[in-house]
């Protein structure tokens, strides 16, 4: 009989989910990096084991469904036989509306809170802060699901389907479902177009007139559904939350475009009968324009996008989507060796990986992290939130907000090193907004200049402390975000970018110039009130003065802002003031247990949660480089002791942070052992989403970052090759990793030793390259590759 499977319009993969034919070659990695003028020089052959998730059954739960997105809109694809479900998200659909949550009593109460902390009355200080300092409302707004598109397939409810395969091709940015039923082969493909801003679903079969289905869309929000001909229009508004009235309108427009058959409206659905194939276009929008402007027209926006996409046809939409995706995705590749079980589906590989490590599964996790960042954060979109853009709830865990005491920052740790600098642009825009709302909070709450943001924010850019003093009275979230502005410059060396973000960095630093307090015991400058994020100290509270993480973040903020001023040749007096203030910040301390102290006092061993998920006091080791095994060995040993005290296994994102920290300590085998735990069923769902639990995407991005840190690290002009290579990866190759200084690094190694490294820089400059105990200073010319070989870093060619 004829092949029952229907090839996708532009699919390059073997469409059969059999035990043969899984290995395919990728195209040459020859896409230029627009940000730095760098391109990959060679071809990277990968196999589908590291670029493809696939399964032998439909998704039974949301954590088994497959994500597609373009930064602004996204869907989770379930791949059902009798019913297909696409769970839909639009990145500006949040609860509430513009609001200012600053507590009017906060300014007057802060001096007493500080006095109580100074007197050691921590519980009383925290109680007073809860009563008079914290935000009103005490909770922020939530990121929300838009709804679900369902296709109920006529005649496909029988249980005798076979040859089922559900997959996500992360190189092509396409989710596909294929199966045979009643001797007919059916196929569905889903893409999200970044150019045309629509989701496109295509259904096909290998027998004429075989497609019949009912198409419906529903939302948990207050909405009106209009069905006319082949179009469904859902128009509604968001709701109130925590006393903040809903201010957004939204629209989801669905256009059904069949070839052959009949199409009619039937109540709240569109019914299709006897089609040869069908394309379904979905456009979504809200009235959100900015955190203080909700005057957009989602009805017009969705109409315009559908009208522009419809004439193109599905095949052209697929081609455009692949091109736009691969322009980013194919900038780099990672090969850690062949899959241990190349014919096993992804969910089974995750289970088997615990007994016998699968290097290709680790490479898939790495590549998947890059895919997720591309799909959830692009120029013009909102930043990736706690769940990227994929969320099925109207009231999700933790509001699926921007938690800026680690999680949002972790989302963007890999952006530059993984050759995705453009994907960090939404984070820059978030900081621009926070500098506006945070200036209001700084003035009203603290009586200070500059701007401040605490441990969480939302679509409306709220910056006051929320969730109670134990969790939210932490003023350093905005400062941490500003270190990402410096990272953007440091990786790209784009002075115009630095010039545009310098006022944001300056404002964040200015706030602390005005608000730092002098410790009466030591004379050092400390933050007060503050907390060590989400941890409780042994004095029955979280509120304290000068937690280590604050001092470490401010050392970076002050130094980076001063360096920016010098590079831009501006603000010399302010830069000098910052450097003087930096010298007065309380230093890191080593406690009686040999650990790096989390607080000014030596409280670590008596803290209620010795295995607490946060390791905030190790910020100086990673993501910062203030603590370094070579330059600060005593502090590095103390950081190691703190890591041992905390334990290796934690929540998903916290496990990823631990891997990166061990990589910085150059202990590759221990880092890999923790990576094995992360890549197991308890911390990675079947669809490879990170499990906090529940799902948080920061663990995916943190795991990707940690793997990159095992292979290459960079600090200023120094590049470390294979600093934490585990014995489990005896051979491999990475193309396209980025390091600081607008430079690309390609590596190949075998039997645990470097074979060659190629450096290609976008700017001229001197670099120190280190491999183990061997170091070499080299000069790089723009666009001219330098190849080093062997353990002695021999200069092989220029």
Query: Can you tell me the mean pLDDT for 312-319?
Result: 98
Rounded distance between C-alpha atoms, residue 343 and residue 48, angstroms: 10
DSSP conformation class of 586: P
Give residue 798's pLDDT.
66
Cβ count near 441 (within 10 Å):
27
Flag whether pLDDT at 305 surpasses 70.
yes
Query: Can you tell me the mean pLDDT for 794-798?
Result: 81
Per cent of the chain over pLDDT 90 is: 91
Rounded distance between C-alpha atoms, residue 663 and residue 304, angstroms: 49
User: Which CATH number is associated with domain 397-647?
Assistant: 1.50.10.10
Give residue 158's pLDDT.
59
In this prediction, residue 156 has a pLDDT band, given cuts at 50, 70 and 90, of low
H/E run at residue 150: strand 147-153
pLDDT tens digits, 489-546:
999 999 999 999 999 999 999 999 999 999 999 999 999 999 999 999 999 999 999 9
Query: Can you tell me the mean pLDDT for 313-336?
Result: 98
Closest CA to 250 of 281, 212, 224: 224
Rounded distance between C-alpha atoms, residue 612 and residue 622, angstroms: 17
Q: Which of 4-13, 47-56, 58-67, 466-475 has the lowest average pLDDT?
A: 4-13
Query: Can you tell me the mean pLDDT for 200-229?
Result: 97
Q: Which of 5-9, 196-200, 787-791 has the lowest average pLDDT?
A: 5-9
Per cent of the chain over pLDDT 70 is: 93
Q: Which CATH class is domain 32-95+142-328?
A: mainly beta
The residues, any chain, with a CB within 8 Å of residue 649's CB and separated by 6 or more, are 655, 674, 677
DSSP conformation class of 587: P
Rounded distance between C-alpha atoms, residue 30 and residue 38, angstroms: 10
Flag whether pLDDT at 256 surpasses 70.
yes
Give residue 22's pLDDT.
23
The residues, any chain, with a CB within 8 Å of residue 285's CB and separated by 6 or more, are 90, 250, 251, 296, 298, 301, 302, 305
Give residue 357's pLDDT.
84
Domain ranges of the chain: 32-95+142-328, 397-647, 732-797
pLDDT tens digits, 20-73:
222 222 222 222 233 333 334 333 444 678 999 999 999 999 999 999 999 999
pLDDT tens digits, 624-643:
999 999 999 999 999 999 99
In this prediction, residue 796 has a pLDDT band, given cuts at 50, 70 and 90, of confident
Query: Can you tell me the mean pLDDT for 99-124?
Result: 98
Flag whether pLDDT at 13 surpasses 60.
no
Tokens representing residue 677 in the block: 């735990």
In this prediction, residue 356 has a pLDDT band, given cuts at 50, 70 and 90, of confident
Q: Is the CB of residue 418 less than 8 Å from the CB of residue 373?
A: yes
Give residue 35's pLDDT.
31
């Amino acid at each position: 009989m004829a092949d029952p499977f229907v090839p996708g319009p532009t699919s390059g993969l073997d469409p059969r989910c059999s035990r043969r034919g899984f290995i395919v070659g990728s195209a040459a990695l020859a896409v230029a990096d627009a940000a730095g003028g760098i391109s990959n020089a060679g071809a990277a052959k990968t196999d589908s084991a590291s670029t493809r998730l696939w399964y032998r059954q439909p998704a039974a739960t949301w954590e088994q469904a497959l994500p597609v997105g373009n930064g602004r809109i996204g869907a989770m694809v379930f791949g059902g036989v009798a019913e297909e479900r696409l769970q839909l998200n639009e990145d500006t659909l949040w609860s509430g509306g513009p609001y200012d949550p600053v507590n009017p009593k906060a300014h007057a109460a802060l001096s007493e809170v500080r006095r109580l902390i100074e007197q050691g009355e921590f519980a009383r200080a925290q109680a007073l802060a809860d009563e008079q300092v914290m935000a009103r409302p005490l909770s922020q707004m939530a990121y929300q699901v838009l709804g679900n598109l369902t296709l109920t397939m006529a005649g496909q409810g029988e249980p005798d389907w076979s040859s089922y395969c559900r997959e996500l091709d992360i190189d092509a940015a396409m989710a596909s479902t294929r199966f045979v039923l009643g001797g007919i082969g059916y196929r569905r493909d889903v893409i999200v177009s970044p150019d045309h801003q629509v989701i496109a679903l295509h259904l096909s079969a290998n027998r004429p007139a075989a497609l019949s289905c009912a198409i419906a869309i529903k939302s948990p929000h207050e909405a009106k559904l209009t069905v006319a001909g082949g179009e469904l229009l859902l128009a509604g508004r968001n709701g109130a939350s925590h006393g903040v009235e809903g201010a957004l309108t939204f629209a989801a427009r669905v256009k059904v475009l069949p070839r052959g058959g009949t199409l009619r409206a039937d109540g709240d659905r569109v019914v299709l009968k006897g089609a040869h194939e069908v394309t379904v276009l979905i456009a979504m929008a809200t009235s959100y324009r900015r955190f203080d402007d909700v005057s957009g027209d989602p009805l017009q926006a969705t109409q315009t996008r559908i009208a522009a996409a419809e004439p193109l046809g599905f095949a052209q939409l697929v081609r455009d989507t692949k091109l736009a995706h691969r322009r980013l995705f194919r900038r780099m590749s990672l090969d850690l060796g062949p899959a241990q079980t190349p014919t096993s589906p992804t969910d089974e590989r995750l289970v088997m990986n615990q007994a016998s490590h699968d290097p290709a599964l680790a490479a898939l996790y790495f590549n998947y992290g890059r895919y997720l960042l591309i799909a959830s954060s692009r120029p013009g979109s909102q930043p990736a939130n706690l769940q990227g853009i994929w969320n099925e709830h109207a009231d999700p865990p933790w509001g699926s907000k921007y938690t800026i005491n680690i999680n949002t920052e972790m989302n963007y740790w890999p952006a530059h090193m993984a050759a995705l600098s453009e994907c960090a642009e939404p984070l820059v825009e978030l900081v621009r907004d926070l500098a506006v709302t945070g200036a209001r909070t700084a003035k009203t709450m603290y009586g200070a200049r500059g701007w401040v943001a605490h441990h969480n924010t939302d679509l409306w850019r709220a910056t006051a402390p929320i969730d109670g003093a134990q969790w939210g009275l932490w003023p350093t979230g905005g400062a941490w975000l500003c270190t990402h502005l410096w990272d953007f410059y440091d990786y790209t060396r784009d002075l115009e970018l630095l010039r545009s973000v310098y006022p944001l960095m300056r404002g964040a630093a200015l706030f602390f110039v005005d608000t730092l307090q002098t410790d009466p015991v030591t004379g050092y400058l400390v933050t007060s009130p503050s907390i060590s994020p989400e941890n409780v100290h042994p004095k029955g509270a979280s509120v304290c003065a000068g937690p280590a993480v604050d001092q470490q973040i401010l050392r970076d903020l002050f130094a980076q802002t001063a360096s920016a001023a010098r590079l831009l040749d501006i603000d010399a007096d302010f830069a000098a003031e910052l450097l003087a203030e930096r010298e007065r910040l309380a230093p890191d301390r080593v406690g009686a247990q040999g650990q790096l102290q989390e607080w000014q006092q030596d409280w670590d061993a008596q803290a209620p949660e010795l295995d607490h998920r946060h390791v905030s006091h190790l910020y100086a080791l990673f993501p910062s480089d203030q603590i370094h095994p070579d330059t600060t060995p005593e502090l590095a040993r103390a950081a190691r002791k703190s890591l041992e005290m905390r334990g290796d296994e934690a929540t998903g994102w916290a496990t990823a942070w631990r891997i990166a920290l061990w990589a910085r300590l150059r202990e590759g085998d221990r880092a890999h052992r923790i990576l094995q735990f992360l890549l197991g069923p308890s911390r990675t769902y079947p669809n490879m989403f990170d499990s906090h639990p529940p799902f948080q995407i920061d663990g995916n991005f943190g795991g990707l970052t940690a793997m990159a840190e095992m292979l290459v690290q960079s600090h200023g002009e120094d590049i470390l090759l294979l600093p934490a290579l585990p014995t489990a990866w005896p051979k491999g190759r990475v193309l396209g990793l980025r390091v600081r200084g607008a430079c690309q690094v390609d590596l190949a190694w075998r039997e645990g030793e470097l074979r060659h490294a190629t450096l290609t820089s976008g700017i001229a400059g001197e670099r120190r390259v280190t491999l183990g105990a061997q170091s070499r200073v080299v000069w790089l010319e723009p666009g001219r590759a330098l190849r080093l070989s062997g353990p002695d870093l021999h200069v092989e060619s220029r």
